[in-house]
Amino acid sequence: MQKVQKTYTPEFKREAVRLAQTSGKPIAQVARELGISDTSIHQWRKELAVHGSQAFPGSGHQTDQEEEVRRLKRELEIVKQERDILKKAVDIFSRERQ
């Protein structure tokens, strides 16, 4: 049986973090009241602290750094494929001379 992962809006995540920080209640209690795990609130709090306004970009939306890494990985894969093609071509042409 496949487990379905719940998705939460960025607004919900920000509000959950705000509640955990300002309510005076333990994070576990706030999480129970919201129907989420306390681990989620901890992760969201860390992400909000690190990324600030760019936290929780949603599906398909990435931070500038993530987008750059994705682009560079794509470019690296293309360069590797080109390199492999050239290696094969050199091998083929070197066999023909012998």
Q: Over the stretch 42-81, which tens digit does the pLDDT of each residue have? A: 999 998 888 887 787 766 666 778 788 989 999 999 999 9
Residue 40 has pLDDT above 70, yes or no: yes
Contacts of 54 (CB under 8 A, 6+ apart): 63, 64
Amino acid making up residue 59: S
| Whether the model pTM is above 0.75 | no
Q: Nearest Cα to 34, choosing from 2, 71, 6, 60? A: 6
- The pLDDT score that the predictor gives to residue 42 is 93
Mean pLDDT for 29-37 is 92
